């Protein structure tokens, strides 16, 4: 998914102490104990931005964990309404501060104010917070289950302090202190320690200020939400494996994510990582003949949207060899060459994209267009298309599935259906996979043959649409087999399912009625759906 940025890092000098931004620990904004700072850059100008942000030392991280553990114990039996009230007030405060938050994100990421930040991502973020609030208040997300004969009852309850690592490419909707993981963790009843991304620290600080204000106004304990900006790699691994950590949500590079996953797995701590995905698009012959020009337009728009920096941009397109396929590739190359190259999220994203393209070339791909610098004054790279034969893909399928995160994609041209099938079988796990087929039925038999091959390799299967959009829908799966994510059974987008990542199954056997959580008592405290003796109902018992 997103690549790590490379911010300007320095040792803190004495005269800089007063200009260093504060961390949010234990319900207070205060100076960090750290001796190192970093600065972000404006990707559109390569200008180093003036604010200094601390690298938190382990003592500071551990203090945040201790505070979070105390908060978790205090709020363990709170009703969902308490968390819903906080989330709703937080959404209101984000909207009240929208102008400053959007301006900051634009400066730190070069993402356009419209339509991306103001019209798209910010409303999505506040909508997620409100959807999570509704789920927390209603309660069905917890899957309350009651066996009256055995007098055994169970539900998902809070798992404890949740650590959220935000990515670089969604400064609002996936932000460590405002995005989907944050909303889900809070709605499930957990305190959150947010680790901001180093490419947009000011934006994260502004969001954290709103979260802190909302926590105070709604009576949350000090330290319910906390913010650190950066740690060492070693301390990040210690954080996710700490005994006080309940679970971790991480979105970012595969390399860093795997280090964190290994640390968490070693001590049995749940960690939900989103790592990388090339999101294959398979265009069947009938669709090419019927509407090849239209599909070219959809592909170019999807691949270049946001300069290709969505985790669901199509990074690999699979075609059967034909004249129509050659025309499609030529047309796509022309569109990529003619389109202006967008600004990448930072120098780290720029370096990562170039490295990914180089890996594809080394594995056997040929550059059709692009793959060169276009404007040294900003972070960018030419729109790039590559090509490889199906036979050569099968010689190095791992190398040719290297994620080039940005405005680049790879065409794979197979000579036969058998070769096409063999290629699909070599796919790694992906967030999405898509088939384009004709509307008259000529591709139906081939679709029926190939779709079962692709299905196990993708979390979300699409027909006749590019995969870039991720709707915040209860039916959405923004997840998939490794290495798209660390676990194929969970989603980072889609409420209420996303909340269940941050719950633990809690069973009550012959517990006295007055000692049970409200959702497991005979009388339903609200409108939650509960499984009572294998029947889902909103009613009471007896």
User: What's residue 4's pLDDT?
Assistant: 41
Average pLDDT over residues 226-254: 97
| DSSP-assigned letter for residue 243 | T
Check whether residue 304 and residue 263 sit in a common domain.
no
- 94/117 Cα distance (integer angstroms): 13
Check whether residue 250 and residue 313 sit in a common domain.
no
Residue 99 has pLDDT above 90, yes or no: yes
3-state DSSP assignment of residue 72:
helix
Active site residue 311: yes
pLDDT tens, residue by residue, 499-525: 999 999 999 999 999 999 999 999 999
Q: Which pairing describes strands 384-389 and 408-414: parallel, antiparallel, or unpaired?
A: parallel
Q: Note whether residue 51 is domain-resident.
A: yes
Check whether residue 416 and residue 288 sit in a common domain.
yes
Residue 3 has pLDDT above 80, yes or no: no
Query: What percent of the chain is predicted at pLDDT more than 70?
Result: 97
User: What's residue 161's pLDDT?
Assistant: 98
Query: What percent of the chain is predicted at pLDDT more than 90?
Result: 96
Return all residues near 103 (Cβ < 8 A) that are at least 6 apart. Answer: 113
pLDDT tens, residue by residue, 487-503: 999 999 999 999 999 99
Check whether residue 128 and residue 189 sit in a common domain.
yes
User: What's residue 5's pLDDT?
Assistant: 41
Q: Note whether residue 520 is domain-resident.
A: no
User: What's residue 510's pLDDT?
Assistant: 98
End position of a domain, from candidates 227, 246, 274: 274
The domain that holds 73 is classified in CATH as 3.40.605.10
Q: Note whether residue 70 is domain-resident.
A: yes
User: What's residue 9's pLDDT?
Assistant: 52
Nearest to 350 by CA among 44, 14, 8, 33: 44
Check whether residue 256 and residue 344 sit in a common domain.
no
Check whether residue 66 and residue 211 sit in a common domain.
yes
Check whether residue 114 and residue 261 sit in a common domain.
yes
pLDDT tens, residue by residue, 403-451: 999 999 999 999 999 999 999 999 999 999 999 999 999 999 999 999 9
Check whether residue 350 and residue 440 sit in a common domain.
yes
User: What's residue 17's pLDDT?
Assistant: 52
Check whether residue 169 and residue 317 sit in a common domain.
no
Average pLDDT over residues 263-274: 98
Active site residue 213: no
Q: Note whether residue 501 is domain-resident.
A: no
Residue 173 has pLDDT above 70, yes or no: yes
Average pLDDT for the chain: 95
Long-range contacts of range 26-31, CB-CB < 8 Å, 24 or more positions apart? 26/63, 26/64, 26/67, 26/222, 26/223, 26/226, 27/67, 27/212, 27/215, 27/221, 27/222, 27/223, 27/224, 28/222, 29/212
Give the domain range for residue 90: 8-274
End position of a domain, from candidates 241, 274, 307: 274
What's the pLDDT band for 1 if we cut at 50, 70, 90? very low
Q: Note whether residue 432 is domain-resident.
A: yes
pLDDT tens, residue by residue, 140-153: 999 999 999 999 99
Check whether residue 114 and residue 218 sit in a common domain.
yes
Check whether residue 396 and residue 266 sit in a common domain.
no
User: Where does residue 531 rank: exposed (0-12), middle (13-18), buried (19+ CB within 10 A)?
Assistant: middle
Say if residue 495 is preceded by a cis peptide, omega within 30 of 0: no
Residue 10 has pLDDT above 70, yes or no: no
CA angle 279, 285, 288 (to 5 degrees): 80
User: What's residue 542's pLDDT?
Assistant: 84
Q: Note whether residue 535 is domain-resident.
A: no
pLDDT tens, residue by residue, 46-81: 999 999 999 999 999 999 999 999 999 999 999 999
End position of a domain, from candidates 254, 274, 294: 274
User: What's residue 12's pLDDT?
Assistant: 46
Crossing angle of helices 122-138 and 80-96, rounded to 10°? 160
Q: Which of 107, 121, 209, 274 is catalytic?
A: 274
Q: Please count the structural domains in the chain.
A: 2
Average pLDDT over residues 270-275: 97
Length of the chain (residues): 542
Q: Which of 88, 209, 311, 380 is catalytic?
A: 311
User: What's residue 18's pLDDT?
Assistant: 58
The domain that holds 317 is classified in CATH as 3.40.309.10
pLDDT tens, residue by residue, 328-377: 999 999 999 999 999 999 999 999 999 999 999 999 999 999 999 899 99
Residue 461 has pLDDT above 70, yes or no: yes
Q: Note whether residue 469 is domain-resident.
A: no
Q: Note whether residue 47 is domain-resident.
A: yes
pLDDT tens, residue by residue, 298-339: 999 999 999 999 999 999 999 999 999 999 999 999 999 999
The reply to whether the predicted model has a pTM over 0.75 is: yes
369: which 2 tokens?
């267009």
Nearest to 342 by CA among 316, 370, 317: 370
- 72/69 Cα distance (integer angstroms): 5
What's the pLDDT band for 19 if we cut at 50, 70, 90? confident
Check whether residue 229 and residue 359 sit in a common domain.
no
The beta strand positions in 152-258, using DSSP E, are: 152-158, 162-165, 192-195, 225-228, 247-251
């Amino acid at each position: 998914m997103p690549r790590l940025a490379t911010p300007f890092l320095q040792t803190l000098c004495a005269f800089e102490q007063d200009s260093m931004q504060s961390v949010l620990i234990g319900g207070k904004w205060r100076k960090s104990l750290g001796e190192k700072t970093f600065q972000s850059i404006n990707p559109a100008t390569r200008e180093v931005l003036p604010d200094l942000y601390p690298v938190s030392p382990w003592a500071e991280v551990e203090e945040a964990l201790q505070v979070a553990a105390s908060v978790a114990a205090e709020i363990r039996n709170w009703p969902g309404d308490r968390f819903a009230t906080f989330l709703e007030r937080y959404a209101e405060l984000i909207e009240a501060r929208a102008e400053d938050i959007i301006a900051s994100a634009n400066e730190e990421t070069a993402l356009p104010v419209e339509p991306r930040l103001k019209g798209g991502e910010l409303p999505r973020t506040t909508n997620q917070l409100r959807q999570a609030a509704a789920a927390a208040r209603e309660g069905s997300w917890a899957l309350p289950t009651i066996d009256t004969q055995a007098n055994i009852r169970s539900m998902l309850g809070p798992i404890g302090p949740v650590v959220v690592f935000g990515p670089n490419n969604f400064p609002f909707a996936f932000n460590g202190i405002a995005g989907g993981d944050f909303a889900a963790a809070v709605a499930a009843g957990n305190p959150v320690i947010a680790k901001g991304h180093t490419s947009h620290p000011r934006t994260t600080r502004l969001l954290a200020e709103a979260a802190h204000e909302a926590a105070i106004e709604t009576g949350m304990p000090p330290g319910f939400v906390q913010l650190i900006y950066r740690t060492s790699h070693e301390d990040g691994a210690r954080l996710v494996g700490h005994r006080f950590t309940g679970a971790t949500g991480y979105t970012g590079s595969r390399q860093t994510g795997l280090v964190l996953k290994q640390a968490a797995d070693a001590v049995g701590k749940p960690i939900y990582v989103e790592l990388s995905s090339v999101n294959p698009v398979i265009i069947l012959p009938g669709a090419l003949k019927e509407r090849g020009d239209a599909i070219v337009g959809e592909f170019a728009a999807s691949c270049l949207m946001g300069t290709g920096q969505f985790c669901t941009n199509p990074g690999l397109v699979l075609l059967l060899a034909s004249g129509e396929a050659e025309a499609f590739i030529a047309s796509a190359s022309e569109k990529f060459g003619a389109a202006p190259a967008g600004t990448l999220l930072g120098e780290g994203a720029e370096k990562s994209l170039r490295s990914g393209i180089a890996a594809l070339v080394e594995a056997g791909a040929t550059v059709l267009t692009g793959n060169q610098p276009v404007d040294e004054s900003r972070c960018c790279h030419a729109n790039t298309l590559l090509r490889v034969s199906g036979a050569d893909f099968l010689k190095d399928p791992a190398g040719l599935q290297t994620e080039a995160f940005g405005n680049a994609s790879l065409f794979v041209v197979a000579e036969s259906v058998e070769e096409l099938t063999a290629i699909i079988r070599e796919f790694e796990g992906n967030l999405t996979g898509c088939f384009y087929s004709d509307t008259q039925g000529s591709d139906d038999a081939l679709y029926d043959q190939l779709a079962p091959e692709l299905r196990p390799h993708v979390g979300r299967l699409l027909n006749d649409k590019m995969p870039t959009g991720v709707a915040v829908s209860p039916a959405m799966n923004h997840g998939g087999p490794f290495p798209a994510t660390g676990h194929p059974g969970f989603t980072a987008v889609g409420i209420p399912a996303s909340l269940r990542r941050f719950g633990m199954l809690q069973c009550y056997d012959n517990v006295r009625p007055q000692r049970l959580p409200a959702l497991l008592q005979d009388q339903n405290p609200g409108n939650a759906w509960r499984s009572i003796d294998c029947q889902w109902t909103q009613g009471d018992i007896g």
